[in-house]
Structure 1
Amino acid sequence: MQVIKDVQPDLGLSPAEEARRAQIIAATMATMAELGYRRTSYARIKERAGLSSTRLIGYHFGTKAALIQAVVTTAMSIRDRYLEERAGGTTDRAGMLRALIETEVTFVRDHPECVRVLREVAANADDADGWPVAGPLLRGFRIGRIERLLIQGQREGAFGEFAPDVAARTIAQSIDGAVQAHDEDPSLDLDTYGRQLADFFEQAVAAKR
């Protein structure tokens, strides 16, 4: 099992403790991606991580909520790095929107485990022992980021007049549609899918000349 390197370090932890935390997070993500949120027990995580006891999970994270928070933070960090690596040099708003859409779509292919984990956490936000803000955070983060980009583009004259909250939600739901399409057909060409989706929305939000 590969230890995830995108885990945010905690102040005061030794290198060994940080490595153990990363190992547990990686095992949790792999288990959740394979078995789903509800079947991801401490016993399953212990088995996948090769730990001697489930008590080590409680020692490093304290509560299930803290573990889920670390998992979500890690998955989102991986997604943000993926976007930055592929679109970090883009400066114009239309290009940024295109890059965001295309990379969100191809992220489904290149990091399927992260996608499944984030979907599982969002779908099980009612878990009383989980991280209570995970559901609202995951539902609002992507939409909020797209909406802010659209608003800034409107202010700069790059985009036309439309309701940015409606457009942002529509774009996010279309990206979710790509996830579903890929679930149904894993051979789907996501590069083409993302490019065509970006073409559509780039034209839809463009300022009228």
Structure 2
Amino acid sequence: MRIKQAGDRAGSTAARRDQIVEATIAVLAERGYAAASYDAICEVAGLSSKRLISYHFTSKDELLAEVLHRVTTDAGAFMRPALDAAAGPAAKLAAYIRSNVEFIASRPDHVRAVQQIVFGQVPVPSEESDGAIARLAGLFDDGQRSGDFRTFDSTLMAAALRAAIDAVAGRLVAGADPQVCADELTETFHRATRAEQP
């Protein structure tokens, strides 16, 4: 019986954290960083007290770091099927770009929340960004080893692709056509990375 209570408590804690994070994303997306107070988050989450936020997150910076982690995790889960289905480095690169653009277009609230965190110059951990760059650099390294990609600095190319997607995110949130954006980015980075034909 004790084990079940501990499991129930852990599940309840995780559910409450999720509720707070989702409310924070909504407040950031709809009202902006300056208005993302604990009072506003409580209102959207339907919480009775700000102490419920403080109980689960030691600071607002920790809460915002968790928002970034959630957005990254959600994007990864959304993109994974397309990446898994792609065969070869060039196809995986195209799948990465297209599925990322599709995620951004389908979850503008996530994008606006991240933009507001960046706008607020919040000191958050860099693991999410560094991890995304490292995974892309690994994809480029694989393509260079297989001969699909030309020789270039994989980390620099990965950073350039992330920056290009981040720049397009604002246009997508403003209503740009996701298909057009995905086509342009895919073609641009195909041309930038492909090996010269003999």
Q: TM-score, normalised by structure 2?
A: 0.85
1:119 & 1:144 partners in 2: Cα distance?
22
1:159 and 2:149 correspond: yes
Asked if the contact 2:108–2:173 (Cα under 8 Å) also holds between the matched residues in 1, the reply is no
Asked if the contact 1:122–1:138 (Cα under 8 Å) also holds between the matched residues in 2, the reply is no
CA spacing shift, 1:156–1:24, aligned 2, 3 Å: same
1:91 & 1:13 partners in 2: Cα distance?
43
> Offset of 1:191 from its aligned partner?
1.6
1:192 and 2:151 correspond: no
Residue ranges of structure 2 left out of the alignment (5+ in a row): 1-6
CA deviation digits over 1:10-63, x for unaligned, max 9? Answer: x99432222222111111111011122232110000111111111111112232
Structure 1 stretches of 4+ moved >6 Å: none
From 9, 12, 17, the counterpart of 1:16 = 12
Q: Which has the higher helix share?
A: 2
Residue 38 of structure 1: SS of its match in structure 2? Answer: helix
From 156, 163, 188, the counterpart of 1:173 = 163
> Offset of 1:181 from its aligned partner?
2.5
1:116 and 2:112 correspond: yes
Q: What is the match of residue 75 of structure 1?
A: 71
From 27, 31, 44, the counterpart of 2:27 = 31
Aligned letter for 1:82? F
2:116 & 2:132 partners in 1: Cα distance?
16
1:133 & 1:56 partners in 2: Cα distance?
22
Aligned letter for 1:201? F
Residue ranges of structure 1 left out of the alignment (5+ in a row): 1-10
1:103 and 2:93 correspond: no
Aligned letter for 2:115? R
Query: Aligned-pair RMSD on alpha carbons?
Result: 2.2
1:66 and 2:54 correspond: no
Asked if the contact 1:122–1:139 (Cα under 8 Å) also holds between the matched residues in 2, the reply is no
> Offset of 1:166 from its aligned partner?
3.0
> Offset of 1:203 from its aligned partner?
2.6
Percentage of pairs with the same residue = 30
Asked if the contact 1:118–1:138 (Cα under 8 Å) also holds between the matched residues in 2, the reply is no
From 185, 203, 207, the counterpart of 2:191 = 203
Aligned letter for 1:172? R
Asked if the contact 1:24–1:57 (Cα under 8 Å) also holds between the matched residues in 2, the reply is yes
Q: What is the match of residue 147 of structure 1?
A: 137
CA spacing shift, 1:178–1:155, aligned 2, 3 Å: same
Asked if the contact 2:23–2:45 (Cα under 8 Å) also holds between the matched residues in 1, the reply is yes
1:168 & 1:179 partners in 2: Cα distance?
17
1:24 & 1:119 partners in 2: Cα distance?
19
2:65 & 2:188 partners in 1: Cα distance?
35
